[in-house]
Amino acid sequence: MSYLILRVMINALSIVVAVKLVDGITFSGEWWKMIIVGAVFGIVNSIIKPLVQFFTIPFIVLTLGLFTLIINTLMLELTAALSGTFNLGFRISGFWSAFWGAIIVSIVSMLLSWITGLKRMRYYKNTDKWQE
């Protein structure tokens, strides 16, 4: 459970940094709605992103992995679209804003995961305990 909470918080903080740094990305809601946006982003990345990556393997291989930047951009845009559906206040205006936002979210998320030790956390099903 602590892994999930930490992952959602890292997603939310990464999106907040993107909102602050990229002009075309805005957030106009209460602070707690950003946590929900982080959860939506996590769900999109854990369910939809693997499917998109699977079906675009030829493009990923052909572009030596650079197509994953486009996939990350589309996942951030999908999060913004779902945010609009749920009135969470997260908006992106245009592809390039989403592109730069996806790069920032990826970098900040990687750094925060490294700082918090999230990458070292493992859940062992046999023991039902978190271990590092």
Of residues 28 and 128, which shows the higher confidence score? 28
pLDDT one-digit tens code per residue, 41-74 = 999 999 999 999 999 999 999 999 999 999 999 9
Residue 34 CA to residue 57 CA, distance in Å, equals: 32
